[in-house]
Amino acid sequence: MESNAVVAVSIQITFFALLALSPPPQLCRHISSSFLLSTHAFLSAVQKQVLASASCRNVNEADSPFRSAAVLSDSYSTEASELADIDWDNLGFGFLPTDYMYMTKCTQGGKFSKGELQRFGNIELNPSAGILNYGQGLFEGLKAYRKDGNILLFRPEENALRMRLGAERMCMPSPTVEQFVEAVKETVLANKRWVPPPGKGSLYIRPLLMGSGAVLGLASAPEYTFLIYVSPVGNYFKEGVAPINLIVEHELHRATPGGTGGVKTIGNYAAVLKAQSAAKAKGYSDVLYLDCVHKKYLEEVSSCNIFMVKGNVISTPAIKGTILPGITRKSIMLLETKGSRLRSTLCQWMNCLMPMKFFAQGPR
């Protein structure tokens, strides 16, 4: 097969729906005889074990080590009068401005103090800010959703730890795990009328850490801003939890060894737009990237980790600095699925031509 051959892979996207939604009960459709998709039974088992094993944190949890410091209501109602007046049945994955955002600043070498909530709106940056000129910035992505009368977060401390690791790589100060989780909880509670009703979507939470101070020569910025904003969203892919079509990309690559592919730095994402745009123009949902050295090992989708299931073995590409370690990926790897074996390994894309089941999780 030629190296530039086009290969379409159809996979079941579970991403955060792994926790908030149930996969369709029917077996997923085939794209061709070579590709088989993950079944409802397997995904349901993973869903139940993630919920049972991972820490879904109630934002109002009284005995949590991350107690909310916000002076906000400790309860909410699902009455329509307390929800934002939008079409909850037709949420896409797009930005909708909400009520409040969280912000705090610190200097290089300093520590972030407790921030404050302020009305959502534009921010002011010097044209010479480190984030604008040299891309010194990180972001995280997590969700809040309603379930059984509560607003829940999924393992926010893991996002905090990932941001701290990324900040070290990008030579930036970062909030502590406690500060991060407190700030997330405050922001969610301040915008709770934007948390969709159960089954209608989730509140996407976007923490940003950026070099906001002015710098002309190539150097770390003198000042940093930690900011959180939120937006109600539906499914990331328009197909929802139905199968999607991916194209294997052989020439363009998302990350290189020794680079920043393993952290959630802002500059990683614009690099995938060219391949993603070309894929969508051909009718595909997204791109499945290969390693840039051998051009034969699977890495990840633009915004998703990927898993392969063959028999009782569940495999996922190993984390070696070029793949972002997803929070849901990490949670799945901690599980012991009954009768199955989980492994992190090198996965050749040619194996996709063999009968195999696929699922992915993201955004990460």
Residues acting as catalytic residues: 264
CA-wise closest residue to 331 among 16, 38, 71, 53:
53
139 CB burial (10 A radius; 0-12, 13-18, 19+): middle
Give the list of residues 6+ apart from residue 292 with CB closer than 8 angstroms, or none: 253, 255, 256, 257, 322
Tell me how far apart the alpha carbons of residues 236 and 362 are, in angstroms, rounded to a whole number.
Answer: 8
Q: Are residues 237 and 102 in contact, defined by beta-carbon separation less than 8 angstroms? A: no
Q: Are residues 160 and 231 in contact, defined by beta-carbon separation less than 8 angstroms? A: no
**DSSP class of 12:** E
Determine the residue type at 237. Answer: F
Q: What's CA 161's distance to the chain center, in Å?
A: 14
Q: Are residues 14 and 40 in contact, defined by beta-carbon separation less than 8 angstroms? A: no
CA torsion sign for 209, 213, 217, 219 is negative
Give me Rg for the CA atoms of the chain: 21
DSSP β-ladder status, 305-310 and 313-317: antiparallel
Q: Are residues 214 and 126 in contact, defined by beta-carbon separation less than 8 angstroms? A: yes
The three-class DSSP label of residue 57 is: strand
Q: How many CA atoms lie within 13 A of 283 on its CB side?
A: 5
Instruction: Read off φ and ψ for residue 50, nearest 5 degrees.
Output: -65, -45
